[in-house]
Every structure is written in structure tokens, then in C-alpha cells.
Chain A
Amino acid sequence: MSASWHGVRTVAVLELRQRVRSTRWVVALVVWFVVVGAITALSWAAIHGLGGGPGVDGGLPEEVFTGPPIFGVVVFFVLFLGLLVSPTLSATSINGDRNAGTLATLQVTMLSPAQIAVGKLLAAWVAALAFLAVSVPFLVLALAAGGVPVVAVVVCLVVLALLLAVVCAIGLGFSALSPRTSGSAVLTFLSVAALTVLSPVVFALTVPAVTQDEPVRVWSVPLDYDWESGEPPECEWRTETMPVFHTERTWWLLAVNPFVILADAAPEARQAATVSDPLAAIRTAVRAARTGPATEQDWCTDTFGSFTSDGTPVAPAQSPVDVPEPDRSVVWPYGLAVELLLGAAGLAVAIRRLSIPQRRLARGTRVA
């Protein structure tokens, strides 16, 4: 165990030294810091600007926290940038070394293929974590705005770290498969794009396929209700046939999305803010999609019966339809499990391809 860790550390230190000493690395961190800082400042200004409408003197009412929206924007932006940067950290680490003629000399040492692969992954991940670390001040800033529990920052950082590790592992796998560095970089970016962009697109495109005309029990105004009468209607049960979206069959398409995983895993804000919280919005939407359509719908309570003809409000008739309880069951473990499996597959491919002696060579490659 200690011997294998020693080998992993040797490779990781080698990789990091090679990377850290190039100045581009520092520049990249500085650019990252500036960009995330700018986004934080902009979202801060925008959200406080929104509250400054007429009727409220000088801003939002005190009891509404501005933390959750700022936190949501910053966390998503960090994830977005992380997904862009992480592939470059690992997607050239094996074929790049092979092209530079440094891989084979490592392979013939006592280092095992697993040690080399894990060491390279570890180095890429540590580099990705450095970007996360640079973003922490801005998450803390959002915390200071109030409404975000401290645990949310911790959970989000952990989930971000895991997601970036997965991207690094996928990149590592492609760098072992593809002989060219440009090829593996493109493949890694495409995989990230598939998970982030393609997943909601495919979900949307499959909606017609999971839509069926079905009878639904509806609590509604009687069909013979006289709209001129001025009396509140007596609502009644009726069965109507209408298109029903069975998203409970396709919710998993959304669940593999890194943004969904992050939003769903983030602990809920202390108070539902009037300004929208992007994390909460996505969380609610994906959990609703997973729950699927309700078998009973209330078309009456909110629509009618608010006022009598002379303008006095009337307490709405008690609806027999249960208020749809937001599903509390979490979605992120499924998504994260799939992501981690993908990462494990990438790592396994890398280990396999690093094993020597090699039986087959990729077309157009030399061993050393």
C-alpha cells in the first residue's frame, strides 16, 4: 500500500512540477480569479439593482436574503469554467508524454500502469482543485450576503471537486486512447458537452415521445356554470382527456447533467427568496420531472372564487385535490454515480493502455 502510494506520488509530483513551473499556469489562475470576481461583482450589482424598484426604499426588504442567487450564479459559473479548464489538464497527459518521448522511459521503471495513471489523474485533479481554491473567496462573499447555509458552500465545493475529478479521468482515458493530443482534447470537450448541453436537449426532444393522451381527474368549474351569474362556482370532479408528460421515464437524462447534480446536491437556502435562486429552480424542476404528472388536477381554486360580484373576497372553497407536495427525494446520487462510473471507465482505459509489454500498437505510433 505504501509502496503503491509512493509510486503514485512520484508520478504526481513529476507532473505537477512540470506544470507548475510554466508561467502559463500562474496566468491561468489569475485570469480565473479576475473572471470569477467580475461575475460575482456583476451578479451582486444586478441582484441589488433588481430590488431597487419603486415602493421599496433603496433596495430589497431586509428579510429577503440576496445570498442564494449570488451563490447560485457564482457556483454555476465556477462549474462552467471548471468544465472548460479540466479537460486541458488531463486530456494530453498520456499521448502528450508519448509524443514527447517521456512516457516509455517511465513505463520501463518499477512504476505500475495503475501508479502512472492514478498519479497523472491526481496531478490533474490537484491542478483543478487549485482553480476551485481560487474561487472560494467569492463563494464566501455570497455567504456574507446571507441566506446561504455554510454547509452549502462545503457541499458545493465537494461536489465540484468530484465532478472535476470525473472530467479529468475522462480526459485521461481519451489521452490514452487517442494518439494525437488534439484528438483527445476534442473528444473530452465533446463528452463534457454531451453531459451538459446534450442532456437537457435530448430530454426536451424526448418529451413528445413520452407524451400520451390520458384521462385525468380534474376539480373544475361545472360545464353548465353561468359565467354571468356573479355567484362563485361550485367546483366538481370531472374526467378530461389531455396530453400528459411522463417525464418520470426520462428524468435521468437531466440527472447526469453536472449542473443538475450540483443544484440538487446543494442544501436548500434558509429562506425562499423573492429573487430567484438558480439552484433551487433547477432542483425543483428536476424533482418535478422525476415525480411525473399528477393524476388529479385542481383547475378551480386559484382560478375562481377570489371575489364576489361586489368585490368582497371569498374564501376559496376547500379543494379536495392535494396540494402537490414537492418531491423531496434527491436526484443527485444517481447522476453523480453515473459520472463517477464514467470517470472510473476513463481511468480503467488509461491503466489498460499503459500496461507493458504492449501487444498491439495504435496506427502510426511508436512505442518510444
Chain B
Amino acid sequence: MSITAGDRAPTPAPAVPPGIEVTGLHRSFGAVRALDGVDLVARTGAVTALVGPNGSGKTTLLLVLAGLLVPDGGRVRIAGHDPVTDGPAARARTGWMPDAFGTWDSLTAREVLLTFGAAYRLPREVAAARAAELLETVHLTEYADRPASVLSRGQKQRLGLARALVHRPEVLLLDEPASGLDPRSRVDLRVLLRDLAAAGTTVLVSSHVLAELDEMADDAVFLSGGRTVRPDRGDVPADGAREWRLRALSLTALTAWLDSVGARWRPDDGIGGDGPPGSGGVLLPVAGEESAARLLADAVRAGVPVAGLAPAAGALERAYLTLEEERR
């Protein structure tokens, strides 16, 4: 172990091996193909989002990565270790926070962390210091010596996150970590994950709060029907244009003007809003805020009764909705 550490420390390493590497992963439960060909690379020092509809295999994938399930086929490397053949080595480097987990209600938050410190074979004093540090990180210090049964759902969630971090894992697997968290805690979570990634941790996080992921993730992996659909966030056009939503009191006036100036647009099939009859919106690519300002000025000058212009949903959400369509 010391040899690896020595190897890693001095070199900034142009080719750092990825924290998680998955190729051709398959896993069936009876007739159900939970994973049906997953390829994934999560870079070291980056936050990778794992996105997919319910039942797409996210949790199963994380169970395989955490070393709890044997895959039927395929190759998995966690920080260079195979969780099946080299389980202990892989588990020593993995922190895992499941989507549904329990706490020992009679134990205090500190005791839970100390227990896990012992379970990861940390010396007693190291574990105690680490527990205090983590309780501070997840803002549970004032609950440190109260039984876990008094914690709220969000507080338990934070305790679960602290528990996954006890042994300073190189690879962090989080299954829906934001569920049950209040807005303040979500921001804290985002900051914490960014900090961990900056310190060289590989973070793989699944969530349904796509706006959240959009802000914290460097990469995204999409799962649909047990398959990785796109290896990365490919939906963003190369010129950096994002889609904006332009709404007007008269949809016909708006579309007539757009057609007359030759703009690319598509109908807004999202939530229509509850404007007056005849009003409506379109989606169109806009390359940055300056273009948006110009677009707005042009529209107003042309007499279009503009009601609003704002960036449409994030890239992740759009990609996600495409998956939903595929599912149907």
C-alpha cells in the first residue's frame, strides 16, 4: 500500500487511471436484465453524474461497484481493483452510500461513525478525530451525542454520507444523496463533493434532482434499460449554444417573426404556462447572453409582444427527457 501511495504522491501524473472503469457489464435477476451492457469511465478527481429513469439499473450498478453483487459478465475496476476477485482491496478504497439505508436507532451519531472507523480498522484515536471532523463537515456536531432516532430524515442522510467518508475513500458512490435534504444541505453537499473531487476523489452520484447534478457534475452517464445510452454529456451543441425559451402573448406573431428572420426554432412542448389564450412559447438555440439580449431587442423592435426569455432546462434534463421518450 505504501508503495502505491509513494508512486502517486510526487507525480501530477498526466495519465491518472480512472477511479471507476466498467466495460460490458451484465447482470440479470432471473428473467429481468437489470444491467445489459454498461460501459462507464469515471475520471479521478471528477464528479460523474449517473442519470436514468426508475428501474434503469442505477442502484444495481452501484451495488456491483460497491462489491455487493457479482456481475454476470463484464469488467469492473475500482481504483484499479476488481471488486469480485480482489474484494477487500476494492472495498477499502470505496465509500458507498445506498439510496435506502437504516441507522442503529439506539446509537449516537458519533458512535455510528466510531463503529465504522473500527470496521475500517482505523486506530481508535484516528477514528475519534475523523468522526469529530466529519460531524463538523455535515453539520451534525450538536447531535453528535444524541441517539440517531432523534435525527430527521435529512440529518440521517447526512450521517450516512459522513459514514461513507470515514475511511477517506478514493472512490465515492452515492445513490440519491440529495433526497430528503433541505436546500441549504443540498448546497453543502454540492460544495463537499466539489471539494472531494478537487482533492482527487472519484465521485459517482446518482440523483433525480437533475438541476443539482447539472451544477456539480463534470461528466454524466445515462442509463436506460440497463444500458449506458451516451457515454458523456453529448447533448450540448459544439458551438456552446444552449436552448432558451422565448414566450410571447401571441404565439402566431412570434412564430411569424422568427420564420421571417430565418431563425431555427421548435415548439415548446414542455409546460405551457398559464398565459392568456393565444400566447405561447418556442425553444431556440442561443449562443450566450449577448445573443439573448440581441434577440430580445430585435423581437421587441419587430413588435412581437414578448412575455419572457430565459434559458430552458439544463442539458441533463433535456437528455433525461429524451431517455423518457425512448422508454415509451
Contact = CB atoms under 8 A, between A and B. Distances in A.
B57 interface: no
Interface string A112-152: 00000000000000000000000000000000000000000
A101 B67 contact: no
Contact of A14 (B83, B98, B107): B107
Contacts, number: 91
A1 interface: no
A18 B105 contact: yes
Given A18-B107, A101-B100, A108-B96, A357 B68 contact: yes
B116 A108 contact: no
Interface residues of B, number: 37
Interface in A309-368: 356-359, 361, 367-368
A18 B104 contact: yes
Nearest to B115: A14
Nearest to A359: B70
Given A18-B106, A21-B106, A108-B66, A357 B101 contact: no
A198 B106 CA distance: 39
Interface stretch (A3-11, A187-195, A241-249, A270-278): A3-11
Given A108-B67, A356-B87, A357-B68, A101 B101 contact: yes
Contacts of A106: 119
Contact of B118 (A10, A101, A358, A368): A10
A303 interface: no
Interface residues of A, number: 31
Interface string A1-45: 001001100100110011111100000000000000000000000
A367 B91 contact: no
Interface in A267-324: none
A107 interface: yes
B106 A109 contact: no
Interface in B102-132: 102-107, 111, 115-116, 118-121
Interface of A: 3, 6-7, 10, 13-14, 17-22, 97, 100-102, 104-111, 356-359, 361, 367-368
13 contacts: A3-B121, A7-B118, A17-B111, A101-B98, A105-B163, A108-B96, A109-B116, A110-B119, A110-B120, A357-B68, A368-B99, A368-B100, A368-B101
